[in-house]
Amino acid sequence: MTSKPPENNLPAGYVVPDVWTWDKGNGGQFATINRPISGPTHEKELPVGKHPLQLYSLGTPNGVKVTILLEEMLAAGHTGAEYDAWLINIGEGDQFGSGFVSVNPNSKIPALMDHQPKDGGAPLRVFESASILVYLAEKFGAFLPTELRARTETMNWLFWQMGSAPFLGGGFGHFYAYAPIHIKYAIDRYAMEVKRQLDVLDRHLADNRYLAGEAYTIADMAVWPWYGLLAMGEAYGDAGRFLEVQSYANVQRWTAEIGARPAVKRGRMVNRTSGTPESQLRERHDAADFETKTADKLAKG
């Protein structure tokens, strides 16, 4: 690659080697779970509950997408969407257990097993959050329009999120909140991109109630846990102030409307391990769990 003056690099004197080697001592909040190879690190079977749908996840934005959709399905009367949600603690390496890797070889949450797929065959695995959203929407015939133009617009924004959010999370969020040092170039680069994305959303939502138009769809459920939480100032510490999220009025309107939905509030609680104890439902196996098994209730015995 083109050489640059080593004294200007960070750290000063760093020269890019001809071949990359893994530095296990590289810091950062997630250094202990990141590695350059795939596959399981230990044997561990996944639990299976009483419902056909078994979700293995964590209350991160990607996990919340799916629990919001499942709670919206139940609220809409789709009783077959009842589910068990098992906590996968990525900080402890649960995603590298043999059972989880068999469901998602990429070792990322969320992952879903459908023990009663529509074809009547063997249990079916579904991984990648967008794939899970589409799978469930098609299984139950909800939140994904069938009309060509509305469906296409829904898919446009669903895949916009899949392509854009890595710049928000792995880019901006990592270098702003999680990296062991602050690197001005990296923060400036990704802050610029995230503000551009917020502007994309804001301009679109100026003329549309939801991302696909007047219909609330899986596109909104995919985008909201990333950009809605950022707009609410609930992502990456004080990143909301840094990015001036309040200036995106249409994003704020959309964020507030979706955040007020009861199913969204429930979906945010599932597999959550941070926030107030009453907001954390670490595992969910029944609708009644929201009233009886949040972290504060369990702590009281």
This prediction has a pTM of: 0.96
Matching CATH number, 53-140, of 3.90.198.10, 3.40.30.10, 3.40.50.300, 1.10.10.10: 3.40.30.10
Report pLDDT for 8: 85
| 21 vs 19: CA distance, rounded Å | 7
Matching fold, domains 53-140 and 148-269: no
| 106 vs 101: CA distance, rounded Å | 7
| 192 vs 31: CA distance, rounded Å | 26
Report pLDDT for 208: 98
Residue 166 belongs to what H/E stretch?
Answer: helix 148-166
The structural domains of the chain, with segments of one domain joined by +, span 53-140, 148-269
Tens of pLDDT, residues 211-235: 999 999 999 999 999 999 999 999 9
Matching CATH number, 148-269, of 1.10.3470.10, 3.30.420.10, 3.30.470.10, 1.20.1050.10: 1.20.1050.10
| 198 vs 248: CA distance, rounded Å | 7
Residue 263 contacts residue 72 (beta carbons within 8 Å):
yes
Q: Which residues of the chain fall below pLDDT 70? A: 1-2, 25, 27
Per-residue CA distances from 159 to 129, 199, 239 (Å): 11, 17, 24
Residue 164 contacts residue 253 (beta carbons within 8 Å):
no
Residue 121 CB burial class (10 angstroms; 0-12, 13-18, ≥19): exposed
| 55 vs 293: CA distance, rounded Å | 18
φ, ψ dihedrals at 290, nearest 5°: -65, -25
Beta bridge partners of 127: 111
220: tokens are 């909104």
Report pLDDT for 2: 63
**Residue that is written with structure tokens 């329009």 in the block:** 145
Report pLDDT for 1: 59
Residue 222 CB burial class (10 angstroms; 0-12, 13-18, ≥19): buried
Query: Phi-psi region for residue 192, left (φ > 0), alpha (ψ -120 to 50) or beta?
Result: alpha
Residue 180 contacts residue 28 (beta carbons within 8 Å):
yes
Tens of pLDDT, residues 179-209: 999 999 999 999 999 999 999 999 999 999 9
| 72 vs 66: CA distance, rounded Å | 10
